[in-house]
Structure 1
Amino acid sequence: MSTQVSFLQPIWNASSALKKFWDNVGAIAGPYWYPTDSKDRAFSDIIRAWAMLFLLVLLIILLVGVTAFNSFVSRYLVDVIIGEKDFSKFVNTLLVYGAALVVVTLLVGFSKFVRKQIALDWYQWLNNHILEKYLSNRAYYKINFQSNVDNPDQRLSQEIEPIARNALSFSATYLEKVLEMITFLIILWSISQFIAVVLVIYTIVGNLIAIYLAQELNKINQEELEHEADYTYSLTHVRNHAESIAFFQGENQEANIIRRRFNNIIKSTKRKINWERSQDIFNRAYQAAIQIFPFIALGPLHIRGEIDFGEVGQASLACNLFANAMAELIREFATSGRFSSYVDRLAELSNALETVTKQPENVSTIKAVEENHLAFVNVTLQTPNYEQTIVEDLSVSVQPGEGLLIVGPSGRGKSSLLRAIAGLWNAGTGRLVRPPLEDILFLPQRPYIILGTLREQLLYPQTNRQMNDVEIKEVLQQVNLQNLLSRVDNFDTEVPWENILSLGEQQRLAFARLLVTRPSFTILDEATSALDLKNEGNLYQQLQENKTTFISVGHRESLFNYHQWVLELSQDSSWQLVTIEDYRLQKAKEFAINSPENTETKIDISPNKESPSQSEIASISGLSHKEMQALTNSPINTVRSKASLGKSITTKDGVTYRYNKDPKVLKWVKV
């Protein structure tokens, strides 16, 4: 019983793989040839596609018919030359034979043209169809969380066109060669039934061997395709991170990674060459046996006078054409492995795109409500896989024109809250109130620089808006980027801006984009981290002057000057919302308590006072000499010397302090 199971297992596996393959083909081809939704394709386009396909089938049938007709003309021509020796019949037959060859030539050319045109139309539609899936409902973003879908960019750019081309090539070749084999088998049957039967048996055996050889080639083609995608991605990775690699001097490590992935391609190619060698030997031997067999079988009959020479020639021609048709089919089956790989990978991508855009069932999600303000109402935010809770029961409201600063330890979900506002993450519970997304502009730490001109950079994402050169110059002046024009001929020159501009210039360009679009709400994720304090202050002041409501994520103390509220996230998913003044008081008190020189820090906060005065804030915010030494990495003697001389000191984070010599203070206070 176990022997029977082990014998049937390969057949079962092959059957399952074949069923999966045809299911994938149906999923890819169905929307083009059999659209179930009227929105997928226009009816006129469907009629045109089927008309072109019908024309291709008709041309193939005519081609096979004229080729079969020519075999009879060739047989008659041989009889005229050898038997009748009639010159006038010879000329007439030769003209018919030549005309038939011209028709065959034209039919071959037109059938290939129609086939390629159908493949081009299908490729164009299929590319747009998958691309629409990729860019809709932010599937291009969500697909990154699918670990089993690798290199979606390569699947889109390099693996769609071969599907349409190979599908039409295989289908047309299969139809043409099967018709040829049937036609010439009938011709052989009319000449010798014995030859026809032997040829059928020989064909079945040959096909079984060819399928066995093709199966292993299919696996090798799949591996080769994956290795090529990995190799291409490694090169793209180096290009995208060229500066970081240069800083680290990581060329040797990157070269090892690239070589390792390239060696995988070489290994797969060598295996493929070895199997193709066996396949080529088999194909040639298969054709040679068919070509010589008619002479072995019919030669003695002609010598005995039982058949004429024309029948021998026609049988030989029919066997040759049969062998060529079979060889073409075997070659198509051999190359179908790569086609199968393309189909599997594209179907996997298409299914993944549909999956990531579907709302999971039986899971809780944050409800988004569109209103003209920003608020979290009892929001518990989780990671998309629901494995980690970022913040619990958050209730925060940002009033129009206010600024909210989000702070907290690294990795505690500050940027995740921004993703929730953008609708990228919605795992959790509660209600999120936000304006329409088109009224919000997001500025990440590394700005998105598009492939386009400087004018398009500023107008993005509203590229349909018009903006003259004078307006552009004024905006660039506002963000201190007036020198950009010296790098290009005009505002419509397209250059690789991401490589030309520093990170600080890119962040200022993002702010210029903000001044152009003038959104009512702005989200800034450490959007000024690469700017000096002067440029940062200039940009935030313009936000305040425009009455923009903004939420910032950042660690710089200088950001406190431009926001009214602080939302602090803690390691245990808890949070607190306080005013900037209260947050400064809290941190100063914590700093004073934890300071080794806390005897120098005098904190006098009366519990009955609701809001301390500016002098009290300065007093509480004071730092000792050792604390200032730690913040500046300066020698303690230098700190004391500057204190006695009344000179100011700027810390590493850009904050300036001066020593207050008042006997009641005697601390470094912020200027």
Structure 2
Amino acid sequence: MTTERAATFSRKSLKWLQGIIGAFLKSPSGTKAKCWVGSLLLLMLCMNAMNVVNSYVLREFMSAIQDRERAAFVNFAWLYAGVFAASTVFSVLLRFSEERLGLLWRDWMTRSLAGVYMDGKIYLRLRSDESLTNPDQRISEDVKSLTVTTLSLVIMLTNSTITVISFSGVLWAISPTLFLVALAYALLGSGLTVLLARPLVNLNYHQADFEADFRADLVKVHQLADGIALAGFEGRSRDRLMERIRRLVENYLRIIAVNRNVGFFTTGYNYLIQLVPIVIVAPMFMNEGVEFGVIGQSAMAFSTLVAALSLIVTQFQSISAYFAVLTRLGEFADTVKRSAEHQDDGCVDCAKSADHFVFDHLTLRSSLENGQVLIENLILTIEKGTRVLINGNHAAQQALFRAAAGVPIIGSGRVIRPPVGKAAFVPENPFLPPGTLRESFVAPEHDATTTDEQVWEVIRAVGLNEAISRHDGDVRHDWHDLLSLRDEQLMAIARAILLRPDFAVLGHLNSSLKQSTERKILKLMQQHGITCISFSDQLPSAEFHDLCLELGDDGSWQIVDPRPERKSVELAG
């Protein structure tokens, strides 16, 4: 469950954003990005030039109406339409350039974060780090929001700066008093908006987590549908979903309440913008100090200048949501960096340079707070051809399986194992990659040397022919949705055989396979010259095992020879 904690936005978040932008501009996509940035700046200058021209055209247009000059009226009407047409072209191209740059940045940033997340096995380490919630949403939705909103805010800020420079002179020429009023009005409005809307940063931060938690629980219900129904946990699952809904609704009600208060102020603030310049300039017209068209020009210039200076007032909801997203991604980056820096701290050293398995003074601990010793000072070498059964304490078995596979785990000592391709791992709940029949069974490195007949020969040998034949092999499938747990495990075994490894490390085949099927699989592995290291709760069999490693509940261990004609050897840990 997500724990509510304050969203701390700091200079570190801005520094991280600055670093990300710098890395993006230096990347292979950087040249194209700089071209889009240049086009954005040029188009913003053109847009502001059109706005300034438009203010003077409006002035002359209104003055022509006042003086009843029909020819001037028609000319300025056509000129007015021309300015609007040019502004339309520049506005559309500006939006197009912004979207293309945003997509380019999002593509690069998402690929970078997803690459680090997967290649560095960060997803494994974050499972035990409760300080970082919903990393999947941070990589997908938060990156999208960050890239789009950053560009939008930067463009608005740049555009506002150009607008202030452009219209300050226009407004000062009409009335210095009007310029000073615009400046004071914008500063006062921005300060009060920040005061009223400040809670939105924290509320938006938590809303993103509550929404993600709710989606995650809905996905779990879909994935575990059979288990929930068979165990009769519908009520408990429903209560959990209702609690998720309650939390996100209550938080959103707080957001709505803050938006209401901010809305009262900002709506009145925007309405007054139309009145203030008229109140100041109208007396000047009445005293015949200015033309009638100046009233329209002053209203346009005042509203444009105040809008440029009031970016915080008009965009604070977007800015608050943006700060929340920036904070979440900054936390993600910090956690990834911290995880990478400390990936070897307290973890087992694993080398992939041998043709056998070596567990050298291996001690493994639980990841729970108590840090219970699961295996203490294990010393064991498993040569090719030596079939081993590992049984006993289930938690210790899981820890040793992870250590053998090179998965980061708390402990000390060293594991030496065969390199990738020489050892296949089949966990109790295997992962089946989505794809066609051939893509799912044959690894890319063996694609050229494995025929379809060889694939079907292994499928028939493991007893998976009937289940696989029901589905079109040339169509991409998500096999987890189509196969039972038994068939999933058989498919993972078939894939392991087609890898042609020296070793196969098997995790609890007996959990989903009958004993007769398990014996058939072990014989099949032996026929293919694969040495099996089996994790199981069963007793060893001299037919399939040359050694048995028994793991005790207190971290102790012993090696037993299952062959009855030989005396058992016990090595206490």
Judged with a 3 Å threshold, the aligned counterparts in structure 2 of structure 1 residues 328 and 426 are, in CA distance, closer, same or farther, namely closer
Specify the alignment match of 2:505 in structure 1. 523
C-alpha deviation, 1:537, in angstroms: 1.2
What pairs with 1:409-558 in structure 2 (closer than 5 Å)? 409-411=393-395, 413-425=396-408, 427-460=410-443, 462=445, 464-465=447-448, 467-488=450-471, 490-557=472-539
C-alpha deviation, 1:354, in angstroms: 2.5
Judged with a 3 Å threshold, the aligned counterparts in structure 2 of structure 1 residues 168 and 99 are, in CA distance, closer, same or farther, namely same
Letter in 1 for 2:381: S
- 1:380-429 Cα shifts (integer Å, max 9, x gaps): 33456893333222221112111111111232x11211211221136444
Letter in 1 for 2:557: W
C-alpha deviation, 1:182, in angstroms: 3.9
Measure, in 1, the Cα distance between the counterparts of 2:210 and 2:410. 35
- Candidates 33, 40, 58, aligned match of 2:42: 58
Specify the alignment match of 1:157 in structure 2. 140
- 1:159-180 Cα shifts (integer Å, max 9, x gaps): 2111111111111122213332
Judged with a 3 Å threshold, the aligned counterparts in structure 2 of structure 1 residues 280 and 560 are, in CA distance, closer, same or farther, namely farther
Measure, in 2, the Cα distance between the counterparts of 1:139 and 1:219. 26
Letter in 1 for 2:272: A
Is the 1:533–1:558 Cα contact (8 Å) retained in structure 2? no
SS of match in other structure, 2:355:
coil
C-alpha deviation, 1:327, in angstroms: 5.8
Measure, in 2, the Cα distance between the counterparts of 1:321 and 1:81. 23
Letter in 2 for 1:572: D
C-alpha deviation, 1:79, in angstroms: 2.1
C-alpha deviation, 1:56, in angstroms: 0.3
C-alpha deviation, 1:355, in angstroms: 2.2
What pairs with 1:287-326 in structure 2 (closer than 5 Å)? 287-325=270-308
What pairs with 1:244-643 in structure 2 (closer than 5 Å)? 244-325=227-308, 329-359=312-342, 365-366=348-349, 368=351, 370-383=353-366, 387-411=371-395, 413-425=396-408, 427-460=410-443, 462=445, 464-465=447-448, 467-488=450-471, 490-557=472-539, 561-581=543-563
Measure, in 2, the Cα distance between the counterparts of 1:476 and 1:362. 42
Is the 2:360–2:415 Cα contact (8 Å) retained in structure 1? yes
TM-score by length of 2: 0.92
Is the 2:442–2:495 Cα contact (8 Å) retained in structure 1? yes
C-alpha deviation, 1:301, in angstroms: 1.9
Measure, in 2, the Cα distance between the counterparts of 1:315 and 1:583. 106
Judged with a 3 Å threshold, the aligned counterparts in structure 2 of structure 1 residues 95 and 166 are, in CA distance, closer, same or farther, namely same
Aligned alpha-carbon RMSD (Å):
2.6
Is the 2:353–2:419 Cα contact (8 Å) retained in structure 1? yes
Letter in 1 for 2:378: L
- 1:476-506 Cα shifts (integer Å, max 9, x gaps): 1101111124421x31223342133222212
SS of match in other structure, 2:393:
coil
C-alpha deviation, 1:60, in angstroms: 0.7
- Asked if 1:144 is matched to 2:136, the reply is no
- Candidates 70, 79, 82, aligned match of 1:99: 82
C-alpha deviation, 1:118, in angstroms: 0.4
Judged with a 3 Å threshold, the aligned counterparts in structure 2 of structure 1 residues 149 and 460 are, in CA distance, closer, same or farther, namely farther
Judged with a 3 Å threshold, the aligned counterparts in structure 2 of structure 1 residues 582 and 391 are, in CA distance, closer, same or farther, namely farther
Is the 2:350–2:415 Cα contact (8 Å) retained in structure 1? yes
Specify the alignment match of 2:3 in structure 1. none
Measure, in 1, the Cα distance between the counterparts of 2:80 and 2:15. 45
Judged with a 3 Å threshold, the aligned counterparts in structure 2 of structure 1 residues 362 and 531 are, in CA distance, closer, same or farther, namely closer
- Candidates 15, 18, 22, aligned match of 1:30: 22
Is the 1:380–1:394 Cα contact (8 Å) retained in structure 2? yes
What pairs with 1:194-209 in structure 2 (closer than 5 Å)? 194-209=177-192
C-alpha deviation, 1:517, in angstroms: 1.3
Measure, in 2, the Cα distance between the counterparts of 1:271 and 1:382. 44
SS of match in other structure, 1:391:
strand
Judged with a 3 Å threshold, the aligned counterparts in structure 2 of structure 1 residues 181 and 160 are, in CA distance, closer, same or farther, namely same
Measure, in 1, the Cα distance between the counterparts of 2:125 and 2:416. 22
Q: Which has the larger radius of gyration?
A: 1
C-alpha deviation, 1:193, in angstroms: 0.9
Specify the alignment match of 2:55 in structure 1. 71
**Bigger CA drift: 349-358 or 563-572?**
349-358
- 1:219-250 Cα shifts (integer Å, max 9, x gaps): 22112111101111111111221111011121
Measure, in 2, the Cα distance between the counterparts of 1:473 and 1:334. 59
Judged with a 3 Å threshold, the aligned counterparts in structure 2 of structure 1 residues 309 and 210 are, in CA distance, closer, same or farther, namely same
SS of match in other structure, 2:283:
helix
Letter in 2 for 1:268: N
Is the 1:366–1:427 Cα contact (8 Å) retained in structure 2? no
Is the 2:355–2:383 Cα contact (8 Å) retained in structure 1? no
Measure, in 1, the Cα distance between the counterparts of 2:448 and 2:125. 29
TM-score by length of 1: 0.79
Measure, in 1, the Cα distance between the counterparts of 2:208 and 2:481. 31
Judged with a 3 Å threshold, the aligned counterparts in structure 2 of structure 1 residues 583 and 172 are, in CA distance, closer, same or farther, namely farther
- 1:68-89 Cα shifts (integer Å, max 9, x gaps): 1110111122223323x44333
Is the 1:185–1:322 Cα contact (8 Å) retained in structure 2? yes
**Bigger CA drift: 296-305 or 578-587?**
578-587
What pairs with 1:74-85 in structure 2 (closer than 5 Å)? 74-83=58-67, 85=68
C-alpha deviation, 1:461, in angstroms: 6.8
Specify the alignment match of 1:651 in structure 2. none
Letter in 2 for 1:237: K
- Asked if 1:19 is matched to 2:36, the reply is no
Q: Which has the higher contact order (CA 8 A, sep 6+)?
A: 2
SS of match in other structure, 1:581:
coil
- 1:110-152 Cα shifts (integer Å, max 9, x gaps): 1111011100000000000001101112222122121111111
C-alpha deviation, 1:276, in angstroms: 1.4
Measure, in 1, the Cα distance between the counterparts of 2:449 and 2:286. 89
Judged with a 3 Å threshold, the aligned counterparts in structure 2 of structure 1 residues 520 and 586 are, in CA distance, closer, same or farther, namely closer
How many residue pairs get aligned? The number is: 563
- Asked if 1:225 is matched to 2:208, the reply is yes
Q: Which runs of 5+ in 2 are unaligned?
A: 1-5
SS of match in other structure, 1:561:
coil
Is the 2:352–2:420 Cα contact (8 Å) retained in structure 1? no
Judged with a 3 Å threshold, the aligned counterparts in structure 2 of structure 1 residues 373 and 49 are, in CA distance, closer, same or farther, namely same
Judged with a 3 Å threshold, the aligned counterparts in structure 2 of structure 1 residues 430 and 278 are, in CA distance, closer, same or farther, namely closer
Specify the alignment match of 1:121 in structure 2. 104
Q: Which runs of 5+ in 1 are unaligned?
A: 1-12, 36-40, 588-671
| Identity %, equivalent residues | 25
Specify the alignment match of 1:614 in structure 2. none
Is the 2:134–2:209 Cα contact (8 Å) retained in structure 1? no
Is the 1:127–1:156 Cα contact (8 Å) retained in structure 2? yes
SS of match in other structure, 2:563:
helix
Specify the alignment match of 1:238 in structure 2. 221
- 1:583-642 Cα shifts (integer Å, max 9, x gaps): 99879xxxxxxxxxxxxxxxxxxxxxxxxxxxxxxxxxxxxxxxxxxxxxxxxxxxxxxx
Measure, in 1, the Cα distance between the counterparts of 2:475 and 2:450. 15
Is the 1:565–1:578 Cα contact (8 Å) retained in structure 2? yes
C-alpha deviation, 1:18, in angstroms: 4.5
Judged with a 3 Å threshold, the aligned counterparts in structure 2 of structure 1 residues 464 and 201 are, in CA distance, closer, same or farther, namely farther
